Amino acid sequence: MFTGIVEERGEITARDDLTEAARFRIRGPLVTSDASFGDSIAVNGVCLTVTELTDDEFTVDVMAETLRRSSLDRLGPGASVNLERAMAAGGRFGGHIVQGHVDGVGVIVSVSPSENWTVVRIGIPEQLARYIVEKGSITVDGISLTVSSVGVDREYGDWFEVSLIPTTLSETNLSGARAGVRVNLEVDVIAKYVERLTGAGRLATSGVEGSEPNE
The neighbour count for residue 14, using CB atoms within 10 Å, is 13
CB 83 within 8 A of CB 130: no
Q: What is the pLDDT of residues 23-33, one digit of tens each?
A: 999 999 999 99
Q: What is the pLDDT of residues 126-169, one digit of tens each?
A: 999 999 999 999 999 999 999 999 999 988 899 999 999 999 99
Confirm whether 8-85 and 104-203 share one CATH topology: yes
CA gap 204, 152 in Å, rounded: 19
Which CATH number fits the domain 8-85, given the four candidates 3.30.479.30, 2.40.30.20, 3.40.47.10, 3.30.70.1560? 2.40.30.20
Would the pLDDT of 88 be above 90?
no
Q: What is the pLDDT of residues 106-118, one digit of tens each?
A: 999 999 998 889 9
CATH class of the domain comprising 104-203: mainly beta
Query: What's the sign of the alpha-carbon dihedral 196, 200, 203, 206?
Result: negative
Give CA torsion, residues 153, 156, 161, 163, to 10 deg.
-120
Domain ranges of the chain: 8-85, 104-203
